[in-house]
Structure 1
């Protein structure tokens, strides 16, 4: 019965560690429980069967863990779970004469401090001077730095 408990602890420990490694982000209860179960199985083997069987248990659990990790990576199961979305959208580039200092427009989204504005029928990403500017607020272009439009609210 003790051998069954030791093997069960080691197998469940490896499964929990694999779940921690592939599915659950960060250090969670599953990873901690997996390590505790594996250490408990190794401790029981040392306590009940002596040091030679304990050493074999440590070696066997390391080999089993590495084999399980290799099989989990090779199986392709994780490819079906992985996020494979690609971002293929592009930001509209600011042309030389598209916007100039002093042009007026309106905020399409809240500028906190970045957002979208409509200037001369172009929707452009803009930056406020540091203050939050609400949606539908009239704005004026005060400077253009490295193709970034800086606006301030009209009073």
Structure 2
């Protein structure tokens, strides 16, 4: 009966570690449970068997678990979870093309300090240089920096 308990704990612990490494990497709860069951098996071996058998169980379970971990890393399972591409595009890169300092326009909403302006037939978001600017006010662009339009009445 002691052998059955010992083998059950060691095998179940090793299977949980294999499950963690190969099928659900990064979960850690399953891996920790695997280590707990393996440790309980080793403790059971030291409690109920001779030191020679207990050390043999310790070495065998350690080799099995380390083997599963090495196999998990070599199998490429981690590649499924790794980011391999980068985003090359950027948002609003060409949004301000055609705008220049000194251009005139009109606010179509209150700027407190941010609001909507219209220049030509395009609508932009802008920041007022001096604070509040009410709707339907003529404005001038004073700065264009870091993809922001700075205006004044």
Fold equivalence (TM over 0.5): yes
**What is residue 53 of structure 2 aligned with on the other side?**
53
Secondary structure of the 2:89 match is coil
Q: CA deviation at 1:105?
A: 9.4
RMSD (CA atoms) = 4.5
Contact 1:105 1:120 in 2 (8 A): no
> CA deviation digits over 1:75-119, x for unaligned, max 9?
45555x54666345422645995433466699xxxxxx9xxxx98
**What is residue 66 of structure 1 aligned with on the other side?**
66
Q: CA deviation at 1:60?
A: 0.9
Greater RCO structure (CA 8 Å; 6+ sep): 2
Q: CA deviation at 1:38?
A: 0.9
Q: TM-score, normalized by length of structure 2?
A: 0.57
Report the count of equivalent residues. Answer: 132
1:4-83 correspondence to structure 2 within 5 Å: 4-21=4-21, 23-25=24-26, 27-28=28-29, 30-76=30-76, 81-82=80-81
Secondary structure of the 1:73 match is helix
- In our comparison, the structure showing a higher alpha carbon Rg is 2
> CA deviation digits over 1:38-62, x for unaligned, max 9?
1100000000102222111111111
Secondary structure of the 2:85 match is coil
**What is residue 86 of structure 1 aligned with on the other side?**
85
**What is residue 135 of structure 1 aligned with on the other side?**
none
1:96-135 correspondence to structure 2 within 5 Å: 98-101=98-101
Provide structure 2 residue ranges, at least 5 long, that are not aligned to the other structure: 108-113, 129-139
Q: CA deviation at 1:17?
A: 2.7
Q: CA deviation at 1:63?
A: 0.7
Contact 1:142 1:150 in 2 (8 A): no
CA distance in 1, matches of 2:54, 2:149: 71
Q: TM-score, normalized by length of structure 1?
A: 0.56
Q: CA deviation at 1:70?
A: 2.4
- Cα distance, 1:127–1:84 mapped onto 2, change above 3 Å: farther
Contact 1:141 1:149 in 2 (8 A): no
